[in-house]
Amino acid sequence: MNTATKNPVYRRRLLAHRIGITMSVCAMGIGLAFLAWILFTLLYNGLGGLSATLFTADTPAPGTPGGGLRNAILGSVMMVGLSTLISTPVGILAGIYLAEYGENNKFAQVTRFVTDIMLSAPSIVIGLFVYAIYVAKVQHFSGYAGTIALSLIAIPVVVRTTDNMLRLVPASLLEAAYALGAPHWKVALTVRLRAVKAGVVTGVLLAVARVTGETAPLLFTALNNQFYSHDMNAPLANLPVVIYTYAMSPYDDWRSLAWAGALLVTTTVLLLNILSRTLFSQKTPN
């Protein structure tokens, strides 16, 4: 050991290692400091806007005191919920196909490539795409258009997560099922998918967390609605667009509602991420 410490090559590598670790820790500290600053600012401004009327009153007119975010909360829940109902089965089934038949399949390779592109595509591009193919055709904004945009964002997350989780299932487990005479489709659904069901659910929750705070796609699809409405075929209020609009307004009441809405969205996303990493956490199947 003494000889090694005197070796100039070892000492240079040790110095480079220590410098790298120090820079990594400093970078992590800077990131955590900014994150803490953002959360503190959000809590400081958002807690003041929380009240019972936030969940029982609709968004107020300009210059009108009071009001709440009931219609925006309802609109967000409706669009995110419907997009989850669409993206979950489509994403899981596509992930199963890629894992089961996508080894040497050209179509599966193209599907993976398109999925990776959609994962990295800016959400505003997806919003413009839905605007061009749907909103411009029907000549009005709607909750359905917002749901389509959110579904296009969520589906690649579910597909990639399902595909990756299914690949973690050991081959010995699948061979045992085949040896018992089980058909391919039954092995895929009752053995392979069941072995990683917690990981798949985690992917669904992460997709929901991803689309919950999306603003740009909804600006081009659902837009906004000042009134309480269940009509998905009309412009629909939603939290991200209300936050975007109210945060830039000259009215103190609107800005207070924007901070409260931002706190609600952040809390929801945080809880979904915690839920996906704890309650549905699962180790790699053995």
Each residue's pLDDT tens digit, 131-188: 999 999 999 999 999 999 999 999 999 999 999 999 999 888 888 888 888 888 888 8
Q: How confident is the model at residue 122 (pLDDT cuts 50, 70, 90)?
A: very high
Could you give the CA distance from residue 49 to residue 280 in angstroms, rounded to a whole number? 33
Is the distance from CB of 241 to CB of 218 less than 8 angstroms? yes
Could you give the CA distance from residue 56 to residue 71 in angstroms, rounded to a whole number? 9
Residue 284 has a pLDDT of: 45
Beta carbons within 10 angstroms of residue 26's beta carbon: 10
Better pLDDT: 105 or 145: 145
Residue 63 has a pLDDT of: 77
Using left for φ > 0, alpha for ψ between -120 and 50, and beta otherwise, residue 283 falls in beta
This prediction's pTM: 0.88
Residue 4 has a pLDDT of: 62
- Of 243, 251, 248, nearest in space to 268 by CA: 243
Residue 2 has a pLDDT of: 62
Could you give the CA distance from residue 21 to residue 29 in angstroms, rounded to a whole number? 12
Domain residue spans of the chain? 2-49, 53-278
Residue 237 has a pLDDT of: 94
Tally of CA atoms within 13 A in the half-sphere of 103 that contains its CB: 4
Question: Interhelix angle for 123-130 vs 143-166, to 10°?
Answer: 130
How far are the Cα atoms of 78, 139, 158, 273 from residue 85, in angstroms, in the given order?
A: 11, 26, 12, 19
> Tens of pLDDT along 1-43?
566 666 788 888 888 999 999 999 999 999 999 999 999 999 9
Residue 5 has a pLDDT of: 65
Sign of the CA dihedral with 259 first, then 264, 268, and 270 last: positive
Is the distance from CB of 276 to CB of 209 less than 8 angstroms? yes
Using left for φ > 0, alpha for ψ between -120 and 50, and beta otherwise, residue 237 falls in beta
Pick the CATH number of 53-278 from 3.30.750.24, 1.10.3720.10, 1.10.275.10, 1.10.357.10: 1.10.3720.10
Could you give the CA distance from residue 265 to residue 262 in angstroms, rounded to a whole number? 5
> Tens of pLDDT along 207-266?
999 999 899 999 999 999 989 999 999 999 999 999 999 999 888 899 999 999 999 999
> Tens of pLDDT along 61-88?
887 888 999 999 999 999 999 999 999 9
